[in-house]
Amino acid sequence: MPDDKEQCVCCDEVEKIYGYCDATGEPYCEICWQFHAPDCAECSLEQDVEGDCRFSTPSLQFDSGSSAPPSNQHALSRALVAVCNQLEMKFPGIKLKHESQWFLPAVIANLKAAFSGVDFHHFHASSAMRPDGGILSIVANDGTTYPILIAEKKNQGTNDLRALEGKTKQAKGNAIERLGKNVIGFRTALLKESIFPFVCFGDGCDFADDSSILDRVVTIAMFGHLNKEHLHNQGPQGVFNRGSFYFRVNEWTEQEMLTACVSIAIKSVQYYYSKYGEESFHPKR
């Protein structure tokens, strides 16, 4: 595998490149490669995907070979495994589906069905939103998927390490700006619902209390409080579909992410059961 550093085409981070797509030549870091390779017709031919770390819960479906990041490298993926297990115990017979990406044509098709008088547009059929933890959905009897958890994990800031090395500070990064793009997309995709099951965990020295970066996050959160769950839309006609943003300097642990994700996922399932009827998600016996 390549060992040089480039900007990953998926997460935009400058990382050690793990592989290049055989079809497009685009570079992928190791974590993003685990999402891309099984889905790509060209790359999957060279991949033994049997060894990928997949969620083991029997109720969970994967779209086009979607896989979770390697469990020994990504605490969020391990938390998501536990989320699925807890959902199975709380909601017997539940059907779950995990997707690594949400293609824009699919988003727009849903929007057109929900808002027939509004025009929508995209440029490329291959464009997609790819959150770090993917999109976990509940599956209805007719095959329709309803997102119950969209998870992101961001780390930003190396100035604490540079200070220990006696180096000067660097300009603060743009991971938050990239996050904002995904939030806009997912927020729009779920406009027909009264919940926004999005959560982002951010850590690093850029998120210290005296950092102006926090106000960028607050702006993305529609000026809601950080480190607080915001699942249900608020305000007149639910105009504030904020999402949940957990940000601090210290790295979020697997258990902390699990606690937040389980809470959002369970309440999301209960919301869909209430809106569409629990029987819509369980075949008649």
* Strand pairing class (244-248; 198-203): parallel
The ranges assigned to domains in the chain are: 1-52, 53-281
Length of the chain: 285
Per CATH, the number for 53-281 is: 3.40.580.10
Look up tokens 């607080």; give the residue: 228
pLDDT in tens, the chain (285 residues): 555 677 777 665 666 777 787 777 778 776 666 666 655 655 654 443 333 333 445 455 555 434 444 333 379 988 999 999 999 999 999 999 999 999 999 999 999 999 999 999 999 999 999 999 999 999 999 999 999 999 999 988 755 554 554 545 544 556 788 899 999 999 999 999 999 999 999 999 989 999 999 999 999 999 999 999 999 999 999 999 999 999 999 999 999 999 999 999 999 999 999 999 999 998 776
